[in-house]
Amino acid sequence: MFKSLSLLVLFVVSGSTAAFAAGPPLPSALNNALALTLVTLMLVLLLVIFMLGRVLTGLAELKLNKEKEEQKKTVPPAAVITGLLLMLSASVMAQDNSGSLQPVAANPQTFGGLSAFVFYFMISVILVELLVILVLIYNIRTLLRADRTEMAEAGASFSLRAWWGRMNKFKPVEQEADIALDHEYDGIRELDNRLPPWWLYGFYVTIIFSVIYLWRYHVSYSAPLSTEEYELSVEKAERQVKAYLAQKGETVDENTVTVSVDAGDLAEGKKIYVAACVACHKDDGGGMVGPNLTDDYWLHGGDIKSIFKTIKYGINAMPQWQTSYSNKQIAQVASYVVSLHGTNPAGAKAAEGELYKQESVDVSSAAAPDNK
């Protein structure tokens, strides 16, 4: 247990020094998402190697003991392990070197903000790690197979149950007595099983993740905080909308809007009016909570451009609608409002605001008196 702990600490430390070593020469290396992913991947693979290594050592020990009992001969597989570990530490050292070597290899070509050298180096470290894992798996399998043929006992090939048992370092239920503690509480006994390895390493991984997380947000400032994230997203969205509108050729806004008498536009406008405006202005435009839209008096201007602006941006109690409707739709509903002019609905609200004479559209209503 403590042996494994100290080993792990060693690995983590060597791993993280590798990560930090990659940092200084290219200040953004650790801030770079790709670099971080790769470093994390390296660390995870290191952990995998470590776990597999432990499994292999365990297996080898078992086999060794058995063989010792039989007769003392054959090469102890531990040698293989030492070799592997050596290889591993070499790769870790190599990682350390990458940092100092890097400025020499001033390569204009970059991969996601990493210099080509660092990128390829990291990739090759990962490949080496994968290779080591393969070798380890191969060794474990060979040992297991030998075991199986010898014992000719455990069920055929790979079984999920057996794998799960190894992942948890389960002790067979029959051998429980060996690890039962010498106390009991109201008849409850306790075993002293080891911590499930995947559980323990999982815990370490979350701790490593947390350190990197805090580092990125609050030390290196390489990940955007809430408000920065917001600004970036708005910028991006604005670009997209602009591109979309340009491509579509839709350019109407408060400076260019004109009254439309097109039946299609007015029908669309009416639809929106019914959905959004009737709650305050009533279905006939006579006004209720909001002002009367059919008379000659306007609180915020009665020309189409003013009406468009009032709808789009809102004013005082009038909500803004630019977030709900496009400019084209606002133009349609504004035209519909203009079309309501002079309809003189029953029970309309008293006039508010300033007199505005509509220019040409209909002359008849311009002469109509106040609805007082």
> How far apart (Å, rounded) are the C-alpha atoms in residues 299 and 296?
10
**From candidates 241, 246, 261, 355, binder to another protein by CB under 8 A:** 241
Return the residue of 9, 123, 189, 368 that touches another protein, per CB under 8 A: 189
| Pair 24, 100: CB distance under 8 Å | no
Decide: is 190 part of the binding site for another protein (CB under 8 A).
Answer: yes
What is the DSSP code string of 62-101? HHHHHHHHH-S-S--THHHHHHHHHHHHHHHHHHHHHHHH
Q: Is 167 in the site for another protein (CB under 8 A)?
A: no
Based on the shown chain and the rule CB under 8 A, indicate whether residue 297 belongs to the binding site for another protein: no
Stretch that binds another protein, among 239-247, 260-268, 301-309, 362-370 (CB under 8 A): 239-247
The minimum distance between CB 280 and another protein, in angstroms, equals 7
What does the alpha-carbon distance between residue 111 and residue 122 come to, in Å, rounded to a whole number?
Answer: 12
- Which segment (21-29, 149-157, 325-333, 364-372) binds another protein by CB under 8 A? 325-333
Does residue 319 contact residue 262 with C-beta atoms inside 8 Å?
no
* Stretch of 68-76, 228-236, 251-259, 294-302 contacting another protein, by CB under 8 A: 228-236
Q: Using CB under 8 A, which of the segments 138-146, 189-197, 333-341, 354-362 binds another protein?
A: 189-197
> Is-contact 54 4, C-beta < 8 A?
yes
Query: Which residue shows structure tokens 């247990």?
Result: 1
Judged by CB, which is closer to another protein: 220, or 365?
Answer: 220
4, 17, 168, 358: residue in contact with another protein (rule CB under 8 A): 168
Q: For residue 110, what are the β-bridge partners? A: 115
Interface with another protein, residue 65, by CB under 8 A: no
If the CB atoms of residues 111 and 198 are measured against another protein, the closer one turns out to be 198
Bridge partners, residue 180, by sequence: 191
Give, in degrees to the nearest 5, the angle at Cα 24 between 19 and 25: 110
Query: Does 193 engage in binding with another protein (CB under 8 A)?
Result: yes
| Interface pick for another protein out of 210, 251, 256, 258 (rule CB under 8 A) | 210
Region of 65-73, 153-161, 288-296, 356-364 interacting with another protein (CB under 8 A): 288-296
Q: By CB under 8 A, is residue 161 in contact with another protein?
A: no
Q: Are 334 and 311 in contact (CB under 8 A)?
A: yes
Q: How far apart are CA 6 and CA 13, in angstroms?
A: 10
Please say whether the beta carbons of 302 and 285 come within 8 A: no
Site size for another protein (CB under 8 A): 60
Contacts of 7 (CB under 8 A, 6+ apart): 50
Backbone angles phi and psi of 340, in degrees to 5? -80, -15
Residue from 40, 36, 19 nearest 98 by CA: 19
Question: In angstroms, what is the minimal distance from the CB of 249 to another protein?
Answer: 13
Query: Is residue 150 part of the contact set for another protein (CB under 8 A)?
Result: no
Rounded to a whole number of angstroms, the minimum distance from the CB of residue 1 to another protein is: 8
Q: Is 97 helix (H, G, I), strand (E, B) or coil?
A: helix
Of 52, 43, 2, which Cα lies nearest the Cα of 19?
43
Those residues with Cβ within 8 angstroms of residue 76's Cβ, 6 or more apart along the chain or in another chain = 60, 64
Distance CA 178, CA 334 (A): 85
Site for another protein in 245-284 (CB under 8 A): 245, 250, 279-280
Between CA 327 and CA 325 the distance in angstroms is: 7
**Residue of 79, 90, 289, 355 that binds another protein (CB under 8 A):** 289
The CA–CA distances, whole Å, from 33 to 28, 46, 216 equal 10, 20, 10
Q: Is 206 in the site for another protein (CB under 8 A)?
A: yes
Counting contacts by CB under 8 A, is residue 163 touching another protein? no
The verdict on 23 binding another protein (CB under 8 A) reads no
- Asked if residue 195 binds another protein (CB under 8 A), the reply is yes
Q: Does residue number 192 form part of the binding site for another protein (CB under 8 A)?
A: yes
Provide the binding-site residues for another protein, judged by CB under 8 A. Answer: 168, 170, 173, 176, 180-181, 183, 185-196, 199-200, 202-203, 206-207, 209-210, 213-214, 217-218, 225-227, 229-230, 233-234, 237-238, 240-241, 244-245, 250, 279-280, 288-290, 316-317, 319, 322-328
